[in-house]
């Protein structure tokens, strides 16, 4: 490789999508929850984009969209390019069918947001396979009883998924149980589910888990709202804040678009996996 070729390669690298993430490091850091390590977050984002040529090409088609999707991950405090927050190439009608980057909150991201709200001590999200045993009767059983033969034969096909949380006072949240048909209905609502790069095709079990976790998120705190109420209560006790004083504005766990209709009950208002308009 000639010196000129090397120089050109370095120039492309330094002006590409990954370099722009590093360039806007401070802006992303300002959006993140205080416990997030900004340098580590940026390294994950840069590693994700540089490690996948399909992501690079999609990001180059509209760097602004890519940076905006990362902004969502930063505001949520989720790790980009992981099962907390997937980065996927997705065809965009507004871009003439070319692929751009779409950020998708994964089930681990939803669970992380539930934990972060501070109301639960544990979150259980599990798939059920055809050779497992599963018992749960609403109104009779407090929690499902799920039996797995870890050392036996193949567990079989996915047949269902469930999720619940144990609150810090020991109570059990609503138990979400979905069968295959219900999960497939959720999949059918995603215009991007048939993309080769969709998590529905690259990590199907994780998307079953996400479907259940997302339903659970409607029944447990997942956003800053719970933490704001706790802050208000503590402040009232210590007389640091009058009971009717307004709280400072909080960053919303949202993209800049309006939430989908099906997401309105979810406090964290997660990014859906629909095709980009």
Answer yes or no: is pLDDT of 138 > 60: yes
Residues belonging to the chain? 277
Q: What is the predicted pLDDT for the residue at 76?
A: 92
Give the model's confidence band at 237: pLDDT under 50 very low, under 70 low, under 90 confident, else very high: very low
First to last CA, the chain: 42
Q: How far apart are CA 88 and CA 203, in angstroms?
A: 12
88 three-state secondary structure: strand
% pLDDT > 90, the chain: 60
Predicted confidence (pLDDT) at residue 43 exceeds the cutoff of 90: yes
Percentage of residues in the chain having pLDDT higher than 70: 74
Closest CA to 109 of 36, 173, 176: 36
What pTM does this model have?
Answer: 0.74
Question: Is the model more confident about 221 or about 177?
Answer: 177
How do residues 60-104 score in pLDDT, each as one tens digit?
999 999 999 999 999 999 999 999 999 999 888 888 889 999 999
Residue 230: pLDDT band with limits 50, 70, 90? low
Cβ pair 239, 222 in contact under 8 A: no
Task: Give buried/exposed letters for 140-171 (b at 16+ CB in 10 A, else e).
Answer: eeeebebeeeeeeeeeeeebbbbbbbeeeeee
Compare 105 and 193 and report the one with higher pLDDT: 105
pLDDT of residue 249: 36
Q: What is the pLDDT of residue 162?
A: 98
Which of 138-142, 160-164, 200-204, 214-218 shows the lowest mean pLDDT across its residues?
200-204
């Amino acid at each position: 490789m000639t010196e000129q070729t090397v120089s050109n390669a370095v120039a492309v690298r330094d002006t590409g999508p990954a370099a722009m993430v590093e360039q806007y490091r401070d802006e992303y850091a300002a959006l993140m929850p205080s416990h997030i390590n900004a340098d580590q977050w940026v390294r994950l984002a840069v590693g994700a984009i540089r490690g996948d040529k399909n992501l690079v090409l999609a990001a180059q088609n509209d760097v602004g969209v890519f940076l905006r999707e990362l902004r969502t991950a930063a505001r949520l405090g989720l790790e980009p390019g992981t099962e907390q927050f997937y980065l996927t190439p997705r065809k965009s009608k507004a871009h003439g069918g070319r692929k751009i980057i779409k950020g998708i909150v994964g089930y681990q991201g939803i669970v992380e947001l539930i934990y972060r709200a501070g109301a639960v001590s544990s979150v259980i999200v599990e798939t059920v396979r055809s050779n497992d045993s599963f018992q749960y009767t609403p109104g009779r059983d407090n929690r499902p009883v799920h039996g797995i033969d870890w050392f036996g034969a193949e567990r079989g096909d996915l047949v269902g998924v469930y999720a619940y949380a144990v609150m810090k006072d020991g109570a059990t949240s609503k138990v979400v149980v979905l069968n295959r048909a219900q999960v497939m209905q959720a999949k059918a609502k995603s215009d991007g589910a048939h993309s080769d790069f969709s998590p529905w095709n690259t990590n199907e079990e994780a998307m079953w888990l996400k479907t259940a976790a997302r339903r659970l998120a409607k029944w447990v705190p997942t956003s800053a709202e719970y933490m704001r109420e706790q802050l208000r209560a503590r402040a009232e006790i210590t007389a640091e804040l009058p009971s009717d004083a307004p709280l400072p504005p909080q960053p919303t766990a949202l993209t800049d678009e309006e939430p989908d209709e099906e997401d309105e009950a979810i406090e964290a208002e997660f990014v859906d996996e629909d095709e980009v308009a």
